[in-house]
Amino acid sequence: MTSQQHRNRVKRSALAAGTALAVVVGGAAVASGADPARTTPGKPQLKLIAASKSVTLDRWEEDPGVYLDLGTYVTVDNAPLELKVTRKSYKDPVVAQQVLRDGKTVRTKKLPAGLVKDFSGLPGFLEVSIKNAAGEEVSKSKGTFCPNNASGRLRPDAPATSHYPESCPTNPWTLGSVWGVEKGWASNSSTVDYDKPVDLPAGEYTAKVAVAKKYRDLFGIPNDQPTIKVTVRQITDGGEGQGGAAARSGAHHSGHGGHDAGGHASGAHVAGGHAAGGHAAHHYGPRGADAPTPPQLSHALEDRGRASHLGDGPGHTDGSRIAPALKPNAKRPTGRAGVPANVPKPDLRSLPAWDIAITDGEDGDVPGKDYLAFSANVWNAGPAPLVVDGFRSPGADLMDAYQYFYDADGKQVGYTPTGTMEWDPRIGHEHWHFTDFASYRLLSEDQTKEVRSGKEAFCLANTDAIDYTVKNANWHPYNTDLSTACGQQNSISVREVLDVGSGDTYTQYRPGQSFDITDLPNGTYYIQVIANPEKRLKETNLNNNVALRKVVLGGEPGARTVQVPPHDLINAP
């Protein structure tokens, strides 16, 4: 079963109680509300709450267990919770700082070294104990808390919208991230690990949830331990459930499990109807390391009769980076082409290859041959976005591409012709690509010879959040939804964007992401990824467009092997 099917099933799980977040807020706002006599200005007050007193989890016939989404939230009051997570380079460890804001005064507090090891969230934050009807503990687990998960406003005087990013990045080459929850908001703390379902037979259970002591001490969180009644019901292929009385009651909630609190999304998304019949039908495997977290449907919206609404809006976020495509200009640019002096430009940078494996050519290459497949990413360090429009003449097979430039106020002040866009009909692509966006080469051990090479056109999209701490980073980029970002075959124009702080990943699952190594001798080689190889795109710096990754080939034809040593501190083969 795919991770996508897991998500669809988790989303169909039902919450058995009618107590939704909107209802809990009435009590939570008082319980977690800041007492002026006991609070420190600029210091957030955090509290763990449960949105519902009971939940129903579906266990499907062929699944090894259920996915624990218990509907717990971390409420934030008195001041926003904000964390800045960075690494200077891949030779340096991840460093996390809490940002404390009190009016115009901003202070930072460094979190203990080694507490945060990557950019997916606070590890071991949530502790969950499950007991059966006899009171015996049958499961104990710890979960990562991503503050950028689906969130909602606790009271009407809180900020109407959240300005923090959504989802926590899991790309191994991430360099900077910002996590945050607005004052007067609550963020979903439940972790759904699609790789580790919990083996609970159909029946009745009690879950006790708590924040780990190290985080209680660090953030001053009360030792609240909400309990949730859990009904596990067995679902057969026919869709019929077997479980306790609660499973047979009039449960009306669809659940909020179609998200991943830790940001560990590994399949296509399920937003706005783009499920297996849409985008996922021709994009097998995730497009980026940060495949958009499936959006959460707020219980509060369900209770208000607006259960069909997904996405972000006043008072809520869905925890997903999914966003629609931007529209191109109405017509191709006119007037003299050029780039004004000192106008901000993008800065394209390649990341080292990863997700490296030997494949047999069955998926888009020549069956029976040996291929070295890999994932590659080019990201934009700013300070300006890369904006490219393509315009197609009637009957033409190619679009003419133009790069636009904007001043500090966002006004277009220049453009340059920058090549073409082509329709890529290959399974796994099927959209308009900006030609020659990247070049892949396999170099000899001494890096002096190209033993294999190729150019790859990209559909530019903001698939991964690489560094949201760079100047002008856009925490809410558009063009992340791959079902709409790069046009259809009959499109006459398209806008492709690589925003500041975001990167575009092409995974090993896609045609073109491999070298034919059938007749290549065993030994040490380097995968070289070059951004903007023809230098058609105007950017701030052309000297940081190349990245290398060492690989060691072994084995024999039909049974080749590859070893991928760590790249500095990054062990992401």
Query: Is 336 contained in some domain?
Result: no
Q: Note the pLDDT of residue 31.
A: 42
Q: Note the pLDDT of residue 260.
A: 33
Compute CA distances 370 → 373, 442, 523, 536, whole Å: 9, 15, 15, 33
Query: Is-contact 90 567, C-beta < 8 A?
Result: yes
Q: Note the pLDDT of residue 38.
A: 63
Domain boundary among 317, 336, 359: 317
Query: Is 257 contained in some domain?
Result: yes
Rounded to 5 degrees, φ, ψ at 495 are -115, 125
Q: Residues 321, 323, 325, 327: what is their CA dihedral angle, to the nearest 10 degrees?
A: -130
CA gap 442, 218 in Å, rounded: 47
Total Cβ atoms within 10 A of residue 250: 8
Domain boundary among 265, 300, 317: 317
CA gap 373, 514 in Å, rounded: 4
**Whole-number average pLDDT of the chain:** 82
Task: Looking at the structure, tell me whether residues 367 and 236 fall in a common domain.
Answer: no
Domain boundary among 317, 333, 356: 317
Give 40's DSSP letter. Answer: P
* Antiparallel, parallel or unpaired: β 502-506 and 493-498: unpaired
Query: Is 390 contained in some domain?
Result: yes
Query: Is 335 contained in some domain?
Result: no
Range of the domain at 412: 348-563
- Which are the contacts of 286, defined by CB distance < 8 A and separation ≥ 6? 265, 266, 267, 268, 507
Task: Looking at the structure, tell me whether residues 429 and 296 fall in a common domain.
Answer: no
* Antiparallel, parallel or unpaired: β 227-235 and 241-242: antiparallel
Q: Note the pLDDT of residue 427.
A: 64
Task: Looking at the structure, tell me whether residues 377 and 511 fall in a common domain.
Answer: yes
Q: Which of 141, 138, 3, 5 is nearest to 70 (CA)?
A: 141
Query: Is 332 contained in some domain?
Result: no
Residue 464 has pLDDT above 50, yes or no: yes
Q: Average pLDDT in the 36-65 region?
A: 87
Query: Is-contact 495 336, C-beta < 8 A?
Result: no
CA gap 91, 415 in Å, rounded: 38
Q: Average pLDDT in the 408-432 region?
A: 85
Q: Note the pLDDT of residue 35.
A: 52
CA gap 272, 311 in Å, rounded: 9
- 159-207 pLDDT, tens digit each: 999 999 999 999 999 999 999 999 999 999 976 777 788 999 999 999 9
Query: Is 328 contained in some domain?
Result: no
CA gap 367, 536 in Å, rounded: 35
Instruction: Name which of 33-37, 44-48, 386-390 the model is least confident about.
Output: 33-37
Residue 246 has pLDDT above 50, yes or no: no
Q: Note the pLDDT of residue 428.
A: 60
* Antiparallel, parallel or unpaired: β 137-145 and 122-132: antiparallel
Whether pTM exceeds 0.95:
no
Q: Could you give the percent of the chain with pLDDT greater than 70?
A: 77
Q: Could you give the percent of the chain with pLDDT greater than 90?
A: 61
Task: Looking at the structure, tell me whether residues 367 and 310 fall in a common domain.
Answer: no
Most confident of 148-152, 239-243, 353-357, 453-457: 353-357
Task: Looking at the structure, tell me whether residues 288 and 433 fall in a common domain.
Answer: no
